[in-house]
Amino acid sequence: MELLRYCTNLPKVELHAHLNGSLSDATVLGLLKTRTQRDADPSLAAAEVTIKKGHQRTLEECFQVFGILHSLTDTLEAVQTITRDVIREFAADNVRYLELRTTPKHVPDRMTKKQYMDAVLQATVEAMVSHNIRVRLLLSIDRARGVEDAWSTLHLAKDYLNHTVFGPLVCGLDVSGNPVCGDLQDYLPVLQAARSCGLKLAVHLAEVPSETEALAVLNSGLVDRIGHGTFLHPASGGSQALHTLLKDQNIPLELCMSSNVKTGTVKTPSEHHLGLWRKENHPLVICTDDKGVFSTSLSEEFVLCAQVRPIRGQTFSFCEEDLHSLSLSGVEAAFLSPTDKQTLRREVQQELDALKGKLASR
Ligand code: IMP
Ligand code: ZN
């Protein structure tokens, strides 16, 4: 089997996907059609939203794109549609377990943050019935919105924990948003409170150089997984202290190669920090970040990582066994109970065993 087909067939785990950043062109076009009918608005084409292969956009420009996407998803109906579409598309890419994250939205006269989350959760329950995929939700704190907003997101998440249907689906909090806005140190009390009530924490960290902030967050000992961690390794702009903190706590990194290369925080795939951490056997999970905005899929991210030409003595070339162990490291880093993780591990392992020996030599 050639590489792309093989990676598509692999049973995969996606742990870092933002709902509104994951919209396919088909979904965006559908939303535009509804919007044009409703507002008679001569609107933008989907092509303006996604970044095609080989193209780039700065992080700042990406945040403008999120603004456009949010203006298309400002009704409860649209929120349900995008949730169903995104889960269906991940399932079609053979993602067996998905942790989807989203920032609860308040839109005056349209929806409260709770109504937004109810819509996402209801659509998730429905999508899981129709597709071969398990889904869990992380509520995102947007670091650009201030600490008060973060407390309200935490309270919302806490309220869900006692909900009979939605409670088991809410597994934690994400901290994301424009990395040059705000300071994560201000959010540590919120994260501490979240941990105290059993919520897991995935935090975007060092997506841009930010030594002081990263040190404070890692010193807090609160983080369960790190998004990007681009500037943590001493060979990619981090300090020895950051390296030691990460290694001592063995915190898995969620790596999103297309996202980093297309936004220019990493120059080329060969220079991606994946190689540095892999060489040290650090727990890594391959993820998409925003499959719509970056025009990718989890299978394509596996291919991209497997094909990177090694530099600086990094070991990138993946054999079949490496691809399997990357799938399984997603299982290990999942925010699931030990019993649910055991079930997922067994199912993924069975599928991997059935694929053994089928990757064409490269
Ligand atoms: P949403 O939370 O479902 O609305 O997904 C889009 C949001 O995710 C954006 O507005 C950002 O706050 C966040 N996001 C997506 N990609 C990134 C990233 O690479 N870095 C930081 N935040 C991100
Ligand atoms: Zn992200």
pLDDT tens digits, residue range 200-240? 999 999 999 999 999 999 999 999 999 999 999 999 999 99
| 10 within 8 A of 94, measured Cβ to Cβ | yes
pLDDT confidence band for 360 (50 / 70 / 90): confident
The model's pTM: 0.96
pLDDT at residue 82, rounded to an integer: 98
SS3 category, 293: coil
Query: For the chain, what percent of residues have pLDDT higher than 70?
Result: 93
Q: Long-range contacts: 71-75, Cβ < 8 Å, 24+?
A: 72/28, 72/31, 72/32, 72/35, 73/20, 73/23, 73/31, 74/105, 74/107, 74/110, 74/111, 75/110, 75/111
Structure tokens at 206: 């060092």
What average pLDDT does the chain have?
93
CA-nearest of 186, 136, 191, 181 to 160 is: 136
Indicate if ligand 1 lies below 6 Å from the C-beta of 16. no
CA-nearest of 49, 44, 1, 5 to 23 is: 49
Question: Is the predicted pLDDT of residue 42 greater than 60, yes or no?
Answer: no
| 156 within 8 A of 199, measured Cβ to Cβ | no
The ligand that comes nearest to the alpha carbon of residue 65 is 1
Q: Report pLDDT digits (tens) over 14-26.
A: 999 999 999 999 9
CA-nearest of 146, 286, 280 to 227 is: 286
Q: Report pLDDT digits (tens) over 304-354.
A: 999 886 665 555 568 899 999 999 999 999 999 999 999 999 999 999 999
| Cβ atoms within 10 Å of 360's Cβ, excluding its own | 10
**Tell me, what amino acid is at 46?**
A
| 227 within 8 A of 16, measured Cβ to Cβ | yes
As a whole number, mean pLDDT of residues 110-114 equals: 97
Q: Which residue has the tokens 């795939």?
A: 269
Number of H helices, E strands in the chain: 14, 8
Q: Helix H segments across 280-319?
A: 298-307
Around 354, how many Cα atoms within 13 Å sit in the side-chain half-sphere?
9
Question: Is the predicted pLDDT of residue 94 greater than 90, yes or no?
Answer: yes
pLDDT at residue 313, rounded to an integer: 54
DSSP structure class, residue 171: E
**What is the C-alpha separation between 240 and 164, in angstroms, rounded?**
45
pLDDT at residue 361, rounded to an integer: 77
Indicate if ligand 1 lies below 6 Å from the C-beta of 73. no
Stated as kind and residue range, the H or E segment containing 168 is none
CA-nearest of 259, 249, 329 to 14 is: 329
Indicate if ligand 1 lies below 6 Å from the C-beta of 176. yes
As a whole number, mean pLDDT of residues 82-108 equals: 98
Question: Is the predicted pLDDT of residue 45 greater than 90, yes or no?
Answer: no
Q: Report pLDDT digits (tens) over 273-293.
A: 999 999 999 999 999 999 999
As a whole number, mean pLDDT of residues 117-146 equals: 98
- What is the secondary structure of 212-268 as a DSSP string? HHHHHHHHHT--SEEEE-TT-SGGGT--HHHHHHHHHHTPPEEE-HHHHHHTTSSSS
What radius of gyration, in Å, describes the C-alpha atoms of the chain? 19
Question: Is the predicted pLDDT of residue 47 greater than 60, yes or no?
Answer: no
Indicate if ligand 1 lies below 6 Å from the C-beta of 224. no
Stated as kind and residue range, the H or E segment containing 342 is helix 338-355
Q: For domain 3-348, is the CATH number 3.20.20.70?
A: no
Question: Is the predicted pLDDT of residue 41 greater than 60, yes or no?
Answer: no
Q: What is the dihedral of CA 282, 285, 286, 292, to 10 degrees?
A: -140
Ligand 1: centre distance to CA 82 (Å) = 15
Distance of CA 56 to the CA centre of its chain: 19
**Tell me, what amino acid is at 165?**
V
**Tell me, what amino acid is at 24?**
S
pLDDT confidence band for 268 (50 / 70 / 90): very high
Question: Is the predicted pLDDT of residue 270 greater than 70, yes or no?
Answer: yes
**What is the C-alpha separation between 292 and 30, in angstroms, rounded?**
14
From the CA of 103, give the closest atom in ligand 1. Answer: 2
DSSP structure class, residue 44: -
Stated as kind and residue range, the H or E segment containing 113 is helix 113-130
The yes-or-no answer on residue 207 being catalytic is: yes
* Measured CA angle at 164 (ends 91, 222), to 5 deg: 75
pLDDT confidence band for 51 (50 / 70 / 90): confident
CA distances from 281 to 275, 276, 343 (A): 10, 9, 25
Q: Report pLDDT digits (tens) over 171-184.
A: 999 999 999 999 99
DSSP structure class, residue 235: G
Ligand 1: centre distance to CA 102 (Å) = 8
Catalytic residue among 14, 99, 207, 301: 207
From the CA of 207, give the closest atom in ligand 1. Answer: 20
Residues 6+ apart with CB under 8 A from 71: none
